[in-house]
Amino acid sequence: MDCETFDLLKTTVTRFVEERLIPNEDRVEAEDAVPAEIIQEMRDLGLFGLSIPEAHGGLSLTMAEEAEIVFELGRTAFAFRSVIGTTVGIGSQGIVIDGTDAQKNEWLPKLAAGEAIASFALTEPGAGSDAAAVQTSAVRDGDVYRINGTKRFITNAPRASMLTVMARSEPGVAGAAGISAFIVPADTPGISFGKPDKKMGQRGTITCDVIFDDAVVPAANIIGGVPGRGFKTAMKVLDRGRIHMSALAAGMAQRLVEESVRYAAEREQFGQAIGAFQLVQGMLADSRVDAFASKVMVADVARRFDAGEKLSADVAAAKYFTTEAVGRVADRAVQIHGGAGYMADYKVERFYRDVRLLRIYEGTSQIQQVIIARSLLREAGLKV
């Protein structure tokens, strides 16, 4: 996208966040849902198609551009971003990265237009951090596969039209090499959805179990057409997704710094604004440093990703740093707000709960540490 068009998009999204999303944060919290008219406005703005190639109806943003847009969306309740998040990110990218032309032509235009929502179904009751332990089975039966199993905590599943499902398709092949990624239309007979999960935060986002009871999909629905490559597809999707999440964390860190500074400048104790006290200044400064470092790290990793560098370990470093950083920033924001910070009327309490998930989903902080350390040690010749 040329610079001028991108700047226009970014300004439009910034205005949308400030004029439409931030004023609706309390409504989302109260109703535990994103209003339908806002979802429609997101469609009209083209937000569902951010990462989908222009040839398939999307905006074809680079990772660096996507990160800038997600940064803006990170400055408000995460539920808004979540509506488009799985379509822009992990739900569609398997097809974008590894899909056949027929798969791209069938699904990407609908996803880009927001007519269809995509979900990513990897996690299971027994397979979280150990993603290669997936037990959901896909048994070949002529030209089709029969899928059986349960997927857990699947974001946007009840409103999805299509799920990218990782299932074990290769009999006798243990671990990562036995997994294929399938495109599964959500209305396939045999698929049912569990009750929406009750979560610590991020109200307005929807997650639930997805149960496959002999759900039949054509063999042609294996992403890329070759069985046994699903784990690698999932890992590539997660590399991209983790940059997206880092940008989200950086955006919320920025918002929390703004909330903290505003409160510190307004609130008076001992006859002056609390911001005049150096202990409060210390917290503000530490939060600014965390937010600034996060933004710079995301920009660096996204730019190098676009340049085609193989950088899973640096992506993991960005995900690890930015999501831990926003946790610290949220904690300080509550502290700066004092008693008010614990009360629901001041939004920092809500954001404190919302950001907690960032250190867990799309790979826990501990998994990111493993990815970083393994990469360093492998470069040094150690087999880990």
Q: Which is nearer to ligand COS, 132 or 144 (CB)?
A: 132
H or E stretch including 146?
strand 144-155
Backbone angles phi, psi at 215, to 5 degrees: -80, 125
Q: Cα separation of 322 and 320, whole Å?
A: 6
Residue 149 CB, nearest approach to ligand COS (Å): 15
Residue 306 CB, nearest approach to ligand COS (Å): 16
SS3 183: strand
Parallel/antiparallel/unpaired status of strands 162-168 and 118-121: parallel
Least Cα distance to 365 among 191, 249, 195 occurs for 249
42 exposed, middle or buried (CB, 10 Å; 0-12, 13-18, 19+)? buried
292 exposed, middle or buried (CB, 10 Å; 0-12, 13-18, 19+)? middle
Q: Which is nearer to ligand COS, 155 or 294 (CB)?
A: 155
Q: Are 319 and 371 in contact (CB under 8 A)?
A: no
Q: Cα separation of 329 and 339, whole Å?
A: 17
Q: Are 298 and 71 in contact (CB under 8 A)?
A: yes
Contacts with 81 (C-beta within 8 Å, 6 or more apart), sequence order:
70, 73, 74, 248
Q: Which is nearer to ligand COS, 94 or 275 (CB)?
A: 94
Q: Which is nearer to ligand COS, 104 or 236 (CB)?
A: 236
Q: Which is nearer to ligand COS, 115 or 130 (CB)?
A: 130
Residues that bind ligand COS (CB under 6 A): 122-123, 129, 131-132, 176, 231-232, 235-236, 238-239, 312, 361-363, 367, 370-371
Alpha helices (H) in the chain, listed in sequence order: 3-16, 25-31, 36-45, 63-73, 78-88, 90-98, 101-112, 230-266, 278-306, 312-337, 348-356, 365-379
Q: Which is nearer to ligand COS, 208 or 274 (CB)?
A: 208
Backbone angles phi, psi at 191, to 5 degrees: -100, 130
* Amino acid in position 13: V
Indicate which residue of 66, 124, 349, 362 is catalytic: 362
Q: Cα separation of 146 and 56, whole Å?
A: 29
Residue 47 CB, nearest approach to ligand COS (Å): 20
SS3 357: helix
H or E stretch including 192?
strand 191-193
Report DSSP state, residue 307: T
Q: Which is nearer to ligand COS, 113 or 133 (CB)?
A: 133
Backbone angles phi, psi at 245, to 5 degrees: -65, -35
Active-site annotation holds for 29: no
Q: Which is nearer to ligand COS, 222 or 371 (CB)?
A: 371
Report DSSP state, residue 195: P
Show which residues are catalytic. 362
